[in-house]
Every structure is written in structure tokens, then in C-alpha cells.
């Protein structure tokens, strides 16, 4: 029988269990620790042994049970990801598997980490991490400050935002896209045929659009 997962109590950090292969989750763990305002208790599980092309039984590689409020999947092998998603569904634990194609209901699969929408069941994680959101202050037609309200768990959003100060409004969105690509830790070779972009290029587009929206708001506020 499925057990309904209870939201994390406000008096303790959200327990996140991160699964990775080949170091794919390490930059995200560092970013969550740095920009998560001490809201998260993270455990990293690394699977680095050679795997066969087909894994019929993932129990050899995955734990028997999961004690966490949220699971982040940065595994490469599709069979492991599928069985991990099934385990999370059975236990009622939310799981984010960015860029994955899965048939397991309830798995959150944004095309890239910084495309994750806000979801109540992912709070407070999705309050801090996912599709970028900015507040911008302007001075004499240039960016004075960019405050990140929400961004990529790898930390690329914050790193790129720091470089926006002093850029003119007209040039800043392009600069944001380029800097995001520089700091993004997604695999640029993982081309998505649906989006027609690599995750790195999609991340750049998302950040550029978010900055454009924030600039428009700042300009409208200044005109009032």
C-alpha cells in the first residue's frame, strides 16, 4: 500500500537524497548547500561501477529503502532511473529527474534543472531552485543589481547574475545567456530532439527570458 508522503516539518531541514553517476550531481549538491539558506540536509549516493547495457534488477545498485523527503536523480542508466522512480512512487516520495524520459507517474522531469516549475509537494526545494526568477534595480540605464529569487541548483544563476552589474539594459539579456552557458554544468552533448537544443542552450534561453521579464518590471516600476 502506498504511503502518502508528508511535507517536511518547518523545524528541520528537508532531507534530500541525491543519486548520481560520474559526478553528475556534485555541482548541484554544492549549489544547493551554498544557495539553499540551510534549508536542506543532503545525502549523496554515487554509483560508479561499470553497468551492463540492460539492468534487469536494480536492487544490486539501489538501496532497499529510502529515508528522505525528496529524491534528485542524476543517474545516467535509464534502467536505474526507472526503478528509482518506481521505488519513490511506491514510498510516496517526490522525485525530480531532470532531462529523463519516464513512464512513471508523479516523476518531475523538466528538460533541464532550471526549467523546474514550482510545486507544492517539492517545497521548500522548488521555492529556491528551478526556473530562474530575478529582481533588478537600474541606475542611469544600466543594471545596478540583480537579486536571484530562484535559480539553477548548480549555482549558474547566481554566478551569471553577479556579472550583470554595469551592463546596459539592451545588452544584458544576451550577456546573461552567454554567462549562464559558461557556468552551466549540464551535458552540452545531450541534444534534445523535442526542444531542438542542448540542455546548456535551453538553460541560456530560460535565463535570458527571465532577465528580460525582470528588466521590463524594473523599467515599468521606474516609470510610475
132 within 8 A of 204, measured Cβ to Cβ: no
> pLDDT: is 193 or 188 the higher one?
188
pLDDT of residue 4: 42
pLDDT of residue 187: 79
Q: Would you say residue 184 has pLDDT above 80?
A: yes
pLDDT of residue 192: 66
Q: Which residues, in sequence order, are CB contacts of 129 under 8 Å at separation 6+?
A: 31, 32, 35, 36, 113, 116, 150, 151, 152, 153
Q: Would you say residue 1 has pLDDT above 80?
A: no
The 10s digit of each residue's pLDDT in 66-104 is 999 999 999 999 999 999 999 999 999 999 999 998 889
pLDDT of residue 5: 47
What is the pLDDT confidence band of residue 150, given thresholds at 50, 70 and 90? Answer: very high
How many whole angstroms separate alpha carbon 113 and alpha carbon 109?
9
pLDDT of residue 195: 58
User: In sequence order, which ranges of the chain are alpha helices (DSSP H)?
Assistant: 26-35, 78-91, 125-128, 156-162, 172-183, 199-223
pLDDT of residue 193: 63
Q: How much of the chain, in percent, has pLDDT values that exceed 70?
A: 92
pLDDT of residue 168: 97
pLDDT of residue 6: 44
Mean pLDDT, to the nearest integer, of 138-156?
97
How many whole angstroms separate alpha carbon 7 and alpha carbon 15?
11
**What is residue 53's DSSP assignment?**
S
Burial of 176 (0-12, 13-18, 19+ CB in 10 A): buried
Superfamily grouping for domain 14-109:
NAD(P)-binding Rossmann-like Domain (3.40.50.720)
Mean pLDDT, to the nearest integer, of 177-193?
84
How many whole angstroms separate alpha carbon 94 and alpha carbon 146?
31
How many whole angstroms separate alpha carbon 37 and alpha carbon 22?
27
pLDDT of residue 7: 47
| First-last CA distance in the chain | 57
Q: Tell me which of 3.90.1010, 3.90.1720, 2.40.160, 3.30.2320 is the CATH number of domain 133-223.
A: 3.90.1010
Q: Provide the mean pLDDT of the chain.
A: 91
pLDDT of residue 3: 37
Mean pLDDT, to the nearest integer, of 204-213?
98
DSSP reduced 3-state for 104: coil
Burial of 13 (0-12, 13-18, 19+ CB in 10 A): middle
> Which backbone phi and psi does 222 adopt, to 5 degrees?
-70, -25
Report CA-CA distances (Å) from 70 to 6, 14, 62, 116, 122.
11, 8, 16, 14, 7
Domain map (residue ranges) of the chain: 14-109, 133-223
CB 152: neighbour CB atoms within 10 A? 32
Q: Would you say residue 8 has pLDDT above 70?
A: no
Amino acid at each position: 500500500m502506498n504511503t502518502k508522503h508528508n511535507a517536511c516539518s518547518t523545524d528541520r531541514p528537508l532531507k534530500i537524497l541525491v543519486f548520481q553517476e560520474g559526478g553528475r550531481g556534485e555541482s548541484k549538491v554544492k549549489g544547493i548547500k551554498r544557495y539553499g539558506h540551510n534549508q536542506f540536509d543532503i545525502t549523496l549516493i554515487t554509483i560508479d561501477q561499470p553497468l551492463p547495457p540492460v539492468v534487469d534488477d536494480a536492487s544490486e545498485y539501489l538501496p532497499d529503502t529510502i529515508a528522505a523527503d525528496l529524491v534528485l536523480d542524476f543517474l545516467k542508466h535509464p534502467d536505474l532511473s526507472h526503478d528509482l522512480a518506481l521505488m519513490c512512487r511506491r514510498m510516496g516520495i517526490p522525485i525530480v529527474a531532470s532531462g529523463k524520459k519516464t513512464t512513471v507517474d508523479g516523476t518531475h522531469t523538466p528538460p533541464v534543472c532550471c526549467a523546474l516549475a514550482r510545486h507544492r509537494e517539492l517545497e521548500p526545494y522548488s521555492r529556491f531552485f528551478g526556473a530562474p526568477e530575478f529582481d533588478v534595480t537600474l541606475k542611469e540605464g544600466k543594471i545596478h543589481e540583480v537579486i536571484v529569487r530562484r535559480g539553477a541548483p548548480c549555482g549558474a544563476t547566481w554566478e551569471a547574475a553577479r556579472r550583470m552589474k554595469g551592463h546596459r539594459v539592451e545588452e544584458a539579456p544576451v550577456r546573461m545567456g552567454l554567462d549562464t552557458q559558461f557556468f552551466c554544468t549540464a551535458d552540452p552533448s545531450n541534444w534534445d530532439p523535442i526542444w531542438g537544443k542542448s540542455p546548456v542552450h535551453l538553460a541560456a534561453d530560460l535565463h535570458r527570458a527571465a532577465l528580460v521579464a525582470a528588466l521590463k518590471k524594473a523599467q515599468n516600476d521606474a516609470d510610475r
